[in-house]
Amino acid sequence: MNQKSESRTSRDTQLGGNVSRVLANFTDWLENYGETSWDYQSFFAGPVGGRAKALYYRHKLSGTAAVAPMIFCEAFLPSARRLFHHPLRFPIADAHYAMGFAFLYETTGDSSQLENAVHFLTELKKSRCRQFKEYCWGYPFNWVTLNGVIKQQTPLITTTPYVYEAFLQVCEILESASSVRPLTSDRCPPDLLDEYKQILRSIARHAAADIKDFRTSEKASSSSYTPFDAGGVVNAAAYRAFLLTSASKVFCNEYYWRTAERNLNFVLENQNPDGSWFYAMDGVRDFVDHYHTCFVMKAIAKIYRLTGYEPCKDALSKGIKYYLENLFDEESLPKPFSKAPRLTVYKRELYDCAECINLCLLLRNRFPALDRTLEKVVTHILKTWVKRDGAFRSRKLHLGWDNVPMHRWGQSQMFRALAFYLRETSATEVRWQRSEIGKKAARNKDVSGQRAAPGSQRAEKRYALNQRTEIR
């Protein structure tokens, strides 16, 4: 191992210890706080805020006056959310919590962490959109958008893939008999694996059939956001492309890949010359923001890992260059927009930081600059964003902080990102141990001719378990 790798291993190990303590405290907070929360959309999820926001989209001048009280509260009195709506359970947050606890199980081998993951998957089975035959998920509130109201329990292709990933991750753990300790809890019955596989199949059928394609070129199609809209949102196509690419491998289904490939080509064909992506290709929503950029590149990175699809490499190279040059502020920390489409009431957002960590972990081996960004952002989060009660701050406002915990808007995403970081830190340390154990075993063999110590075999096993998420 070279000096640079040793330095990175030492740094990751030290930072990983701090991350572990933060995650332990957060887990205690989550148990005490509960699994429902307000949301950044709480101001507009109720009837008063919803009507005001709809008016804003129809009539800018009078609508601005209507939403002004909510925007004022968002900027200066975030706790006022409780006056406009009530706490909700969010499927997208449950999926992130399930993945986070699965990462902790993979890191520690503690079966209680797997039981926590299974608990959140159980909640997800309850919260599916029941009016659809196949398993799918949306928001638990009426979402007022530029193009109208998306009713609660309408499936969203930006939510369902996270649930797919959560079920898939736990399925892989359950299938790996060598890595799973006997589970005796009622929360982990023995027939879970078969049930989860059926749910994964159902999710894939939903993404392939209920979400619609719209041809945009000879090789590309955009994807609908819900089963009912006309498509054009870039990250929606990226999400669907990843889900169906994964399902094509898991279930050996070539049709899923053909569909995914067209959605992927839509994303690749609509990358701007400077490497960025607009939110949508409708000539209206042409802003470039932090977390949607991360969504798109994460999907491309995962698809490339699964398929080796060559056009992904160039798109990622251009995308990362734009990302690093335009979506970080003067302190080298994530900023919300490369160019804000409107007045924003916040300076930084927990969600942006979480997605930055995820992207860096996926691609830091291919793009070394992301390794420095990862260290900077994780250190900043641990130093500045962790509250005394164990939760994270939600937003850095222009004046003060938004400290209202929102499971969908940053808490669950940061928990999952830091658990992913801890899992990868463990993998890095094991690789270092593997190298050192190998050297020691070779020396011992030279001296005594005996086999490597049992610790070497355990390190090899953990190394194999943890290496699968990296892009090389």
Is the residue at 61 inside a domain?
yes
**pLDDT at residue 10 in the model:** 62
| Joined tokens for residue 8 | 């990175």
- Cα-Cα-Cα-Cα torsion 238, 244, 246, 249, nearest 10 degrees, comes to -140
Whether residue 66 sits in one domain with residue 204: no
Write down the pLDDT at residue 21.
95
* Within-domain flag for 233: yes
Measured CA to CA, the distance from residue 176 to residue 465 in angstroms comes to 9
| pLDDT tens figures, 311-345 | 999 999 999 999 999 999 999 999 999 977 777 88
Distance CA 277, CA 234 (A): 7
Tell me, what amino acid is at 48?
A: V
- Of 419, 440, 460, at which residue does a domain stop? 419
Cα–Cα–Cα angle for 329, 335, 340, rounded to 5 degrees: 110
Per-residue confidence (pLDDT) for residue 342, from 0 to 100:
74
Quick one: pLDDT at residue 14? 76
Q: 93 and 79, same structural domain?
A: no
Q: Mean pLDDT: which of 90-99, 185-194, 336-345, 420-429 is highest?
A: 90-99
Domain shared by 126 and 210, yes or no: yes
Same domain, 50 and 26: no
Question: Residue 435 domain-assigned?
Answer: no
Residue 466 has pLDDT above 60, yes or no: no
CA distance to 252, 276, 277, 323, 464, per residue, from 319 (Å) = 30, 6, 8, 6, 30
User: From the CB of residue 179, how many other CB atoms can be counted at a distance below 10 Å?
Assistant: 16
- Asked whether residue 453 is domain-assigned, the answer is no
Q: Is the pLDDT of residue 3 over 80?
A: no
CA-based torsion, 310, 312, 316, 319: positive or negative: positive
Task: Supply the CATH number for residue 182's domain.
Answer: 1.50.10.10
Q: Is residue 337 part of a domain?
A: yes
Q: Is residue 75 part of a domain?
A: yes
What's the domain range around 71? 40-86
My answer on whether 81 and 157 are in the same domain is no
Q: 131 and 58, same structural domain?
A: no
Q: Which of 69, 86, 103 is the C-terminal boundary of a domain?
A: 86
Cβ burial 393-403 (10 Å sphere, 16+ → b, else e): bbbbbeeebbe
- Residue 80, classed as helix, strand or coil, is helix
In this structure, are 373 and 400 located in the same domain?
Answer: yes
Is the CB of residue 291 less than 8 Å from the CB of residue 351? yes
pLDDT confidence band for 425 (50 / 70 / 90): confident
Sheet containing strand 346-349, edge to edge, reads 346-349, 395-397, 401-402
Q: Which of 31, 60, 86 is the last residue of a domain?
A: 86
Q: What pLDDT band is residue 60 in, cutting at 50, 70 and 90? A: confident
CA-based max dimension of the chain: 85
Q: What is the pLDDT of residue 458?
A: 36
Residue 449: predicted pLDDT: 46
Looking at the fold, whether 330 and 400 belong to one and the same domain comes out as yes
Considering the domain architecture, whether residues 254 and 360 belong to the same structural domain is answered as yes
255 and 167 in one domain?
Answer: yes
For residues 252 and 344, give the distance between their C-alpha atoms in angstroms, rounded to a whole number. 45
Which residues face 402 on adjacent strands? 395
Q: Of how many residues is the chain composed?
A: 472
Q: Which two tokens stand for residue 75?
A: 């900027």
Specify the DSSP element, H or E, that contains 180: none
Residues 143 and 56 in one domain: no
Q: How many domains does the chain have?
A: 2
pLDDT at residue 180, rounded to an integer: 45
Which tens digits make up the pLDDT trace of 121-141? Answer: 999 999 999 999 999 999 999
- Report the pLDDT averaged over residues 265-272: 98
For 382, the token pair is 């641990």
pTM to 2 decimal places: 0.88
Q: What integer pLDDT is reported at residue 427 of this predicted model?
A: 67
Q: Are residues 300 and 210 in the same domain?
A: yes
Question: Do the Cβ atoms of 226 and 239 come closer than 8 Å?
Answer: no
Per-residue confidence (pLDDT) for residue 76, from 0 to 100: 93
Q: What is the pLDDT of residue 409?
A: 95
* Segment 359-416, tens digit of pLDDT: 999 999 999 999 999 999 999 999 999 999 999 999 999 999 999 999 999 999 999 9
pLDDT value at 448 more than 50:
no
HSE on the CB side for 28, CA within 13 Å?
9
The helix or strand, by DSSP H or E, that contains position 4, with its residue range, turns out to be helix 3-33
| 164-222 pLDDT per residue, tens | 999 999 999 998 844 445 554 555 666 899 999 999 999 999 999 999 999 999 999 99
Q: Report pLDDT for 443.
A: 56
Q: In the prediction, which pLDDT does 469 show?
A: 40
- pLDDT at res. 455: 38
* Neighbour tally for 418: CB within 10 Å: 27
Residue 445: inside a domain: no
Tell me what pLDDT residue 177 has.
47
Structure tokens at 297: 């590149």
Whether 472 maps to a domain, the answer reads no
- Whether residue 348 is predicted with pLDDT greater than 50 in this model: the reply is yes
Per the CB < 8 A criterion, the answer to whether 425 and 15 are in contact is yes
Mean pLDDT value of segment 276-282: 96
